[in-house]
């Protein structure tokens, strides 16, 4: 992207209140997740720091609340705020992992399928059709449920297994749109090879729509990780996860221990909302056909 365009995008971002709110929330979450070991009051996965007699304490402002536990504690005496910070680490790592893995594989497949067509194209599009209709969520539940293996790497692989078609399909469309343009023919006439045409002329045009897909996908994967961990097929109990926290809290719904669910729930939703706000802004920035004036929110 050109420097002028980057500058314009930044100006728009700073002038768009909802994008700005999204950016701030996302930035705070990333900082909190990165520095969790430094800023969290307790390491909730260090068994020496967690004491069972601190279990199920309410937030500090409520009767029975205790000083270091700002948002209360869970059934094992883990500090809710600290567990949330560590959980965000997991959410963000899984999302980054999937976007990188599925995104790069989908990018290559979509690029090749759109550019060369033929059997590869047919294969990629059929896979895309099938995986789309079966949905990434359903496939991930089935694959993980059958594998009986848990952990962040397995989770990233299981989600990416079907998620790449999202990227491949978008890339293929973008490639088909520019393949027949005059400047591509001109480059070919000047003797440019396939690789040069792909990298210099086709790829730059395909990057903007890819960014929008990646942003949306980032939010979707965060929700998916939480869902899988909630169902008990995602991460093992030894790993911090917002979905797992809520699944533990579910046992105490009738006992009125709302803080076990409400705080991780707010964090999870705010994180995904912030990403969707940024994705909305990105989509508008890239597709000028949608007028800013008609924007609903």
Q: Given candidates 69, 243, 248, 259, which one binds another protein under the rule CB under 8 A?
A: 243
Contacts of 237 (CB under 8 A, 6+ apart): 244
Region near another protein per CB under 8 A, out of 44-52, 112-120, 195-203, 261-269: 261-269
Q: Given candidates 156, 175, 198, 246, which one binds another protein under the rule CB under 8 A?
A: 246
Vertex 121 angle, CA 117 and 123, to 5°: 150
Structure tokens at 163: 């998620």
Vertex 230 angle, CA 226 and 232, to 5°: 120
Output 2 or 254, the one with its CB closest to another protein.
254
Query: Distance between CA atoms of 255 and 212, rounded to whole angstroms?
Result: 43
Structure tokens at 203: 């790829």
Q: Binding marks (x or -) toward another protein, 186..225, rule CB under 8 A? A: ---------------------------------x---x--
Q: Given candidates 277, 281, 282, 284, which one binds another protein under the rule CB under 8 A?
A: 277
Contacts of 168 (CB under 8 A, 6+ apart): 105, 106, 107, 109, 110, 113, 124, 128
Contacts of 170 (CB under 8 A, 6+ apart): 106, 110, 206, 209, 210, 213
Output 106 or 219, the one with its CB closest to another protein.
219
Look-up: residue for tokens 């990057």? 207
45 binds another protein (CB under 8 A): no
Q: Is 155 left (phi over 0), alpha (psi -120 to 50) or beta?
A: alpha
Output 77 or 219, the one with its CB closest to another protein.
219
Q: Given candidates 23, 56, 265, 286, which one binds another protein under the rule CB under 8 A?
A: 265
CB of 247 to another protein, least distance (A): 8
Is residue 233 within 8 A of residue 226, CB to CB? The reply is: no
Output 130 or 199, the one with its CB closest to another protein.
130
Q: Which residues between 91 and 130 bind another protein (CB under 8 A)?
A: 126, 130
User: Which residues lie near another protein (CB under 8 A)?
Assistant: 126, 130, 132-135, 137-138, 141-142, 145-146, 148, 219, 223, 226-227, 230-233, 243, 246, 249-250, 253-254, 256, 258, 261, 265, 268-269, 272-273, 275-277, 290, 294-297
């Amino acid at each position: 992207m050109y420097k002028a365009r980057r500058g314009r995008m930044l100006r728009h971002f700073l002038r768009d209140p909802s994008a700005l709110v999204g950016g701030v929330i996302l930035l705070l979450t990333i900082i909190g997740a990165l520095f969790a070991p430094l800023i969290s009051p307790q390491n909730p996965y260090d068994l020496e720091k967690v004491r069972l007699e601190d279990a199920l304490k309410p937030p500090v402002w409520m009767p029975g609340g205790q000083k270091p536990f700002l948002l209360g504690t869970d059934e094992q005496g883990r500090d809710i705020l600290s567990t949330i910070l560590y959980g965000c680490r997991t959410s963000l790592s899984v999302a980054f992992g999937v976007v990188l893995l599925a995104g790069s594989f989908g990018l290559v497949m979509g690029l090749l399928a759109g550019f060369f067509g033929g059997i590869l194209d047919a294969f990629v599009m059929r896979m895309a059709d099938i995986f789309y209709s079966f949905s990434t969520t359903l496939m991930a539940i089935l694959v993980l449920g059958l594998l009986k293996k848990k952990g962040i790497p397995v989770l990233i692989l299981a989600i990416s297994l079907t998620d790449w078609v999202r990227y491949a399909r978008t890339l293929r469309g973008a490639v088909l749109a520019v393949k027949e343009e005059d400047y591509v023919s001109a480059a070919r006439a000047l003797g440019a090879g396939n690789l040069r045409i792909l990298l210099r002329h086709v790829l730059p045009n395909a990057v903007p729509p890819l960014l929008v897909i990646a942003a949306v996908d980032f939010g979707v994967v965060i929700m998916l990780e939480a869902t899988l961990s909630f169902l008990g097929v995602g991460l093992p109990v030894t790993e911090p996860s917002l979905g797992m926290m809520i699944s533990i809290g579910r046992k105490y719904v009738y006992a009125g221990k709302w803080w076990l669910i409400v705080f991780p729930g707010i964090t999870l939703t705010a994180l995904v909302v912030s990403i969707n706000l940024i994705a909305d802004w990105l989509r508008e920035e890239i597709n000028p056909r949608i007028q800013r004036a008609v924007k609903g929110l």
